[in-house]
Each structure stands twice: as structure tokens, then as C-alpha cells.
Amino acid sequence: MLKNNNKFYITTAILYSNAEAHIGHAYEFFLADVIARYQRLQEKDTYFLTGMDEHGLKIGRSARENNMEVQDFVDEMAEQAKELHQLLNISYNQFIRTSDKKIHWPGAQTLWKELVSSNDIYKKKYNGLYCIGCERFITEKELINNKCPEHDKEPENIEEENYFFKLSKYNDQIKNLIKSNSLIISPVSARNEILSLLESGLEDVSFSRKKESVLWGIPVPEDKTQLMYVWCDALSNYITALGYGRKNEDNFKKFWPADIQVIGKGILRFHAGLWPGMLLSAGLPLPKEILVHSYLTINGKKISKSIGNVINPKEYIHKYGTDAVRYYLGREITPFEDGDFSKEKFIKTYNANLANGLGNLISRILKMANDYFEGSVNNNDNVLIPTKRKKEATKEKDSLESWAIPYLIDNKFIPDYHGFMEKFEINRAADVIWKLIKELDGYITDYEPYKLIRTDKEKTEVIIWNVLYGLFFVGKFLGPFMPEIAEKINNLLGVKFDTKNIPKSFKTNILEKPLFKKID
């Protein structure tokens, strides 16, 4: 099959199914979704994968704590995750589950066999500290106050004979691939972190556990006493979902390697160290880029069950709407720095930027369009009227047209928006949208069409057309962020956002109720 140069394959880390997803998990799904939707708008053949990691000791313990059979437990967790994806309007193409014996297991076992054929799997006895939360053995030097720094729990001492993967063998090769940007790690801080780890040297990794220790997982090929453990199982989902190891590998041949793999910073070492090592051992291409996002905090504190500050995103979606939550995650959270989520800030930004900002602008201009022109607003002569503020401030050598709304959109807002989106700085791209909204608000303030209509109806129509033209692009830009609101703007303007021809006229519809009801 010929390679599709127009393809775009994006993945999230699969959600560990020991507990229901919180707002931090929702951010990763949302971030990947914004990127996927944007790529589709660029007419890329986009495939978006997400799913559930359902094997491991921690899963079995969680099932027992809930008095459930393990399969029943993970089935319930998967349904809860899918419900969140639906509520958050995540446009994934496939939801993979590692307990799926038809889709996932054949590829995971095929990958294991490839590692064996490369002489990279060996068996040895091991005695060490094991963190259930990390699902890995850790060293004493990693501990803080005798606890795992990631999960704030003391590890267990485990002695077993397991299979190991020769990750150390690929340390220098991975380091050189990252340094040469053959494997891009974004942002730079994440790249530096993994390079520092590689300078210290990667150690071989435990790849299996005794069946009686875990009871739940994929059998190791040719050894029924052992189960594949966590990382060979979980990481392989990115290729097994595409058909790797099954009869039909068309999607695998078409979409692999991944263009972008979105992960949280807590699992960087596995995705930028272990995963490339496994692929090199199996003779498979590496992903093009690993995008590492930071954490969400709640009122400045790390999200933690023990602290009791876990926020269920479903509650906010039900109360305030999907796109309101997507707005906050898209604009108020920075992908590459820890971002804070609080109810107070959520309500404040909702009222200021959605109810009073975007919502008020749409309500005002649609009312004028419908009251003054029965919703039919035209600018067939392509008249450009610059903003008064810019006109007065500009030097004489600048043309007046350079401060007209269409010119500003073509030469400032469009390049800025796409520039930030291509760099995955989605919060800055969202800022561009609200700068355009502010520009349109200022344009109404400049010309006061609600007063001008009394003396100059023709000029009033051109001014209202300019604002509607700006809203046309607000809707286009909002598509990846707030798809439901973008579609509503589309319908209210009476145009299609996917058209390549910029509209010369608008046939607006009446806004029956506010897009965003102010929160008291």
C-alpha cells in the first residue's frame, strides 16, 4: 500500500482503569481532540486513537475493593470513560481496550515475539522495590522520604523470576535520535528531561510477572506461567489498534508512524525511552513527535484522592455545558506549564469571556442585522471601512484599508492563529480568537451602528457586514475548541464554515436564547 502523505495519526495515553477519570485526564483528551479537529480542517486524513489500559495488579485490587469480577469492573470503567468522551465531544476514531482479545492481544503478543527474535528478552530473578501506582520497579535513589514521589506511597518489596527487556541496549541510539530531532520531544523542557535521563543510562525493564501474582493480563508467548506486564502490553496499543499483528494491517501501513503522541509528563520516560526501545528492537518506525503536557492543579494543589480535591468534569459539563468546559481547558490552561482549575476562576472567565464577551457580541449584532435589514446583510461592492481608533492612530503613509476588518483578519489574525495551532500552543490560539472578538466589539463602539442607522442606512449595512464577516472567522477559529458553538454561529450567520469562498452576504437567523447564560 502506498504511504499517504496527507495522513495524520494522533494518540492519547490510554486511561488506566482503576478509577474514574478526573479533570486532569479530561484535559489530555481535549488537547488531543483540538489538534485532531484542527488537522481535519486542514483536510488531513486524520485518525485519532484513545482508550483504556485494563491490565495490571492495581486493576485487580481495585476490582476486589469494589466486590466485582475484574472483567465486569473494567467494563464499567470503560463505559464511564466513553461517557466522558461523549460529554466532552471528543472526536476519536477508535477507543481501544487492552482486554480486547481480538483487537489488542494478537498484536501485543506479535510484538513480544519480535523482541524475542532480536534477542532482547531474557529471564532472571529480581529483588526490588515495586511501586503499584507506577507499575514499575524503582530504585532507592528515586524515593523521597522512602516514598514514590509520583504517588506518595511506599513501594512494596518483590522478589520474582520474570522476563526482562534489554532497554539499556538502545540507550545511545534513542539519545541520538532525540538529539537529531528524528524523534521530536515537545516542549524543550521535556526533551531536556529525557536527555538527562538517557545520559544517566536506561536500565533493563521487567516485562512480565508470575501469573499467580497478577491473575489478569496477556499470556507471555510460549510461557503460560507468566503474563505480559503493563508496558509491553499498554504501549503496544498504539500499533495494535491499527491492525498490527492481525491479518488486516492496512491501517497500520497507512497511519504508522504516529504524527503526534500526546502524553502527560508523568509517563515521559516510558514513551520517550521504553517505547522507542521496543520499536527499535522490533524494527518498526518511531513516532514523529511526542507532545508532553503538564498537570492540572486544583486551587494550586496537585489533584489527589487522598487530599480529596478530585474534580469530576462530568459535573461541570452537566451544569455549564460542554463548550464552556472546553473553553476553560483551551484558553485558561497552558499545555506546557501546570495550569490551575478552580470553580471561582471558571465562573469568572465564563461570565467575562463567554456570557459578556462572545455571547453579548453575537446577540447585539444579530439583533441589529435582523431589526435593520431583516437579516439580509450585503457588501457586494467590497467597501472597506477602517476602525476609527486605528485610523486616528496610524501614520499618513499607512493606507486606511490596512485597518479594515478583512485586512486585519487576513494579515494578522489568520497567520497568528495558524502559527500557534501548528506549534500546539492552543491557549495562545484561543487568545487570538478573543482578540478578534474584542476588535469587533471595538468596531461597533467606533461607529455606533445603532445610532448611525437613523442617518446613513447604507453605511450601517457595511459596518454590520464587517462585524458579521469577523464573526464568520470567529466561528471558523472556534471549530476545534468549541464545535457546538461554532456550528451555532454557522447557523446564525446562514453560511457554511467549510466554504472556500468568503461570503459577500449574510442571511442571519434570530437568536432565540443567549448562547451563554450568565452565572450568578
Distance (Å, whole) CA 63 – CA 361: 51
Which residues of 45-192 form beta strands (DSSP E)? 45-53, 94-97, 121-131, 136-138, 156-165, 184-186
Distance (Å, whole) CA 318 – CA 513: 18
Phi, psi at 444, each rounded to 5° = -65, -40
Quote the cell numbers at residue 251.
Answer: 491501517
**CB atoms < 10 A from the CB of 157, how many?**
9
- Identify the active-site residue in 58, 148, 314, 476: 148
- Identify the active-site residue in 58, 85, 134, 476: 134
**Catalytic annotation present for 151:** yes
**Catalytic annotation present for 131:** yes
Write down the H helix ranges in 374-456: 388-393, 405-408, 414-422, 426-447, 449-452
- What are the beta bridge partners of residue 209? 227
- Identify the active-site residue in 302, 457, 496, 518: 302
Distance (Å, whole) CA 72 – CA 513: 43
On whether the CB atoms of residues 71 and 97 are closer than 8 A, the answer is no
Distance (Å, whole) CA 279 – CA 275: 6
- Identify the active-site residue in 58, 85, 104, 131: 131
DSSP single-letter state for residue 147 = B
**Catalytic annotation present for 22:** yes
| CB contact set of 78 (below 8 Å; sequence gap of 6+) | 17, 52, 54, 95, 97
Quote the cell numbers at residue 384.
Answer: 472597506
**Catalytic annotation present for 302:** yes
Distance (Å, whole) CA 197 – CA 377: 61
Q: What is the 3-state secondary structure (H, E, C) of 161-224?
A: EEEEECHHHHHHHHHHHHHCCCCEEECHHHHHHHHHHHHHCCCCEECEEEHHHHCCCEEECCEE
**Catalytic annotation present for 305:** yes
DSSP single-letter state for residue 153 = S
| CB contact set of 514 (below 8 Å; sequence gap of 6+) | 355, 359, 363
- Identify the active-site residue in 141, 247, 305, 397: 305
| CB contact set of 123 (below 8 Å; sequence gap of 6+) | 161, 162, 163, 164
- Identify the active-site residue in 7, 82, 151, 254: 151
**Catalytic annotation present for 85:** no
Distance (Å, whole) CA 424 – CA 430: 11
Distance (Å, whole) CA 516 – CA 378: 28
**Catalytic annotation present for 134:** yes
Q: Which residues are catalytic?
A: 22, 25, 131, 134, 148, 151, 302, 305
